[in-house]
A = this chain, B = another copy of it.
Amino acid sequence: MRDLLTDLKKRMDISERDLERLISAFLSTSDFWEAIAVSRLPFNMVVEISKHLYERGIIFFEDEEQVVLTDKGKRLFDYGVTPLKGHLCPSCEGKGIDLRDWKELLKVYEETKEGRPEPLLEYDQGYLTAKSVIERIAFADGKGDIRGRKVIVLGDDDLLSIALGLSGLPEGITVLEVDERLVEFIERTGKKRGLKIEVRKHDLRYPLPNDLLGEFDTFFTDPVETLEGLGVFIARGIASLKGVGSAGYFGLTTAEASFRKWRDIEKMLVDKFGVVITDILSDFSIYENWDYLLESIRRDLPPLNRKPNVLWYKSSLFRIELVEGYRSFNEEGKGEIYIDQESMAWIRREKN
């Protein structure tokens, strides 16, 4: 194990615990994609470690898909690396949310979103499952952030605004969205269903329109996960809020953001923006698989050439709240916001 770790450290920035986590994940599931989620390590790191483990005969791939520890691998980690057991409540799958009151909304929302535009790499799109959308709303409602509130959705490939509209709970719903297709879909659906949703085409890299500043109780966003990009999305969210006590929600993955990046994001939240983080719910939200995945990522391991069979891409839900001393900005975002070294699309981008 020591030798292996020493070798790995020459290739990447890795701790003993990172390695153990990946092995634990491989002991928990033979599905490579699912193992990425279980390990809670960045995708690119999982691939790098796995390549090395494969070359050293510690893991192999069955039918090019399933990852299995070799006998050598099993001996190596015999000292106490065990499968991870989540102990998640089977009723709510560990989310803590009672969906019974929301069943009808879930059903109608699922019908309503038929014909939605498919995710585009260009805007880092990829959408939540219907259940995850409703769970996000239910959780936020439990915090008093939905009922009678003015809500803004910053980027809405999830079609959260439609679910909010169908719930009838918020006092107002506004969407800013850069993708013309989504703007049209939400507008059309809103009209058809008689929902009051204001949709504007807007690129979040640019400052918020003046009439939206300080207007909302709650924002939702699923930001790109570069520090730069996330900073811009959160800045827009905070600038849109009324003041102390207003809240924001966003998702953050481990697949494209290491815990080190999480720390830096948290620094930005509490230092630069001066807000409080009130909740972080691990892997609260689950995404549907998206078509462009294989085109956008590295493919240098057998399982990376097959579409995932499971819903493996998850994000943790952050809730932030404005407290005395918070700071609001509304400046233009600069530089690359979509890609950094922890983005799944990093290596492909480098090659182009």
List residues of chain A with CB under 8 Å of any chain B CB.
Answer: 13, 15-18, 20-21, 24, 80-82, 84-92, 94-99, 101-102, 138-139, 141-144, 147-148, 171, 243-246, 258-260, 262-263, 266-267, 269-271, 274-282, 321, 323-325
- Contact between B91 and A89 (Cβ–Cβ < 8 Å)? yes
Give the shortest distance, in Å, between A217 (CB) and chain B (any CB).
8
Among A16, A92, A144, the one with the most B-chain Cβ atoms within 10 Å of its Cβ is: A144
B101 engages A323 (CB within 8 Å): no
- Known A18-B245, A80-B148, A270-B267: A91·B88 in contact at CB below 8 Å: no
* Nearest CB of B to A298, in Å: 23
6 pairs of residues in contact across A and B, judged by CB atoms under 8 Å:
A17-B244, A80-B147, A85-B142, A90-B91, A94-B97, A266-B276
CB distance from A65 to the nearest CB of B (A): 25
Shortest distance between the CB of A77 and any CB in chain B (Å): 11
B96 touches A88 (CB 8 A): yes
Task: Let me know if A324 and B17 touch, CB within 8 A.
Answer: no
Question: Chain B's nearest CB lies how many Å from the CB of A325?
Answer: 7
Rounded to whole Å, the gap between the CB of A189 and the closest CB of chain B is 25
Task: Given the known inter-chain contacts A80-B171, A259-B321, A266-B266, please indicate yes or no for A142 contacting B86, CB distance below 8 A.
Answer: yes
Q: Are the C-beta atoms of A97 and B91 separated by less than 8 Å?
A: no
Known contacts A15-B244, A92-B91, A142-B87, A263 near B267 by CB under 8 Å:
no
Known contacts A84-B144, A96-B88: A263-B274 contact under CB 8 Å: yes
> Given A91-B92, A92-B89, A266 and B260 touching (CB < 8 A)?
no
Which of A86, A96, A101, A139 is packed against the most chain B CB atoms within 10 Å? A96
Copies of the protein in its oligomer: 2
A324 and B96 contacting across the interface, CB-CB below 8 Å: no
> B278–A282 contact, CB under 8 A?
yes
B residues less than 8 Å from A17 (CB atoms): 244-246
* 6 tightest A-B CB contacts, nearest first: A17-B245, A89-B92, A91-B91, A263-B276, A80-B148, A94-B96
Query: How long is the Cα–Cα vector from A269 to B277 in the complex, in angstroms?
Result: 12
Known: A85-B141, A90-B91, A267-B270. 8 other contacts (CB 8 A): A15-B244, A17-B245, A81-B148, A87-B142, A262-B277, A262-B323, A266-B277, A280-B280
Q: Is the CB of B24 within 8 A of A144?
A: yes
- Asked whether B279 lies within 8 Å of A282 as measured between CB atoms, the reply is yes
Q: Are B263 and A275 in contact, with the CB atoms below 8 A?
A: yes
A323 to chain B, nearest CB (A): 4
Chain B residue nearest to A144 (CB atoms) is: B84
Bound-state CA distance A323–B99 (Å) is 36
Q: Determine if B92 and A96 form an interchain contact, defined as CB atoms under 8 angstroms apart.
A: yes
Within the complex, which residue of B21, B88, B147 is in contact with A98, where a contact is CB–CB below 8 Å? Answer: B88
Nearest Cβ distance between residue A331 and chain B, in whole angstroms?
A: 23
Contacts of A148 in B (CB 8 A): 80-82
Are the CB atoms of A323 and B95 closer together than 8 Å?
no
Closest B residue, CB atoms, query A247:
B17
Could you say which residues of chain B place their CB within 8 Å of the CB of A86? 142
For A141, what are the chain B residues with a Cβ–Cβ distance below 8 Å?
A: 85, 87
How far, in Å, is A237 (CB) from chain B's closest CB? 16
Q: Tell me which residues across on chain B come within 8 A of A18, comparing CB atoms.
A: 245
Asked whether, in the complex, the Cβ of B16 is within 8 Å of the Cβ of A263, the reply is no
Question: Closest residue to A148 on the B side, CB-wise?
Answer: B80
